Structure 1
């Protein structure tokens, strides 16, 4: 039976290769890669009906953003901060709840890390990851 909806509870963003991936803790929001494709104008003087014509160009993996509650003791938050400081390209995985059988796998560069303290809120943090190369949506059949 196909489940049409699924709660986000249990979704994780991890940093590091499969053998040593560390979950980034205390998250409340994770976006997926925001992929896009450029177009190349191939309009000619013979184009039908005076309409422009296009073909696909380079694709861009876009960005992934995540936010949550700041915890300086969390190993995942520390790893993301270190990746920003060291300007390294890292492996990332967004794992949806197991019953969905889906996850995003991609390489990325951390381009932003921000904390925020508001009067009547918990201290929060936000990160932005620029996807490097092709993100892969891996789907595993579920029983």
Structure 2
């Protein structure tokens, strides 16, 4: 089991940009969290439901949000400017979270940047954070782990 556990080092978030998306890896990332998949339920309970228990069927699914944190690199921070521009435009864009290459695993999804912030603290490096709301069905590709 422990041989199968991999470090997160090498994980990337890529932003597809333009009419022919040429993915740009977001520089300086220290954390990528999400996707947060969930599903609504629809109550199908009737007056003659067995044993007094409610019954349900699955409703709409939601892939949630992806949160990013990292070091703000104003002059050469590839991908950071693109995230800000997507926040300003409100456009839906292609995104890919690529886990370390040896895993061969990635999430691909469309999303809207719903938050972008920067921080300047006396004792810390310049930083930024961003939030991407996933739109539609994401695709998980699982590698062989070799």
Query: Residue 84 of structure 1 aligns with which residue?
Result: 87
Deviation track 1:76-124 (CA, whole Å, cap 9, x = no partner) reads 0011111111111010000001111100000000000000111211111
Alignment of 1:1-143 (within 5 A): 3-16=3-16, 20-73=22-75, 74-143=77-146
CA contact (8 A) 2:118 2:126 kept: yes
Deviation track 1:59-79 (CA, whole Å, cap 9, x = no partner) reads 011100010101122120011
CA contact (8 A) 1:32 1:104 kept: no
Runs of 4+ in 1 over 6 A off after TM superposition: none
Give the drift of 1:141: 2.6
- The range that moved more, 76-85 or 1-10, is 1-10
For the aligned residues, what is the CA RMSD? 1.7
Q: Distance in 2 between matches of 1:82 and 1:100?
A: 31
Q: Distance in 2 between matches of 1:113 and 1:19?
A: 22
Gaps of 5+ in 2: none
CA contact (8 A) 2:70 2:127 kept: yes
Q: Distance in 1 between matches of 2:123 and 2:78?
A: 26
Q: Distance in 2 between matches of 1:47 and 1:27?
A: 51
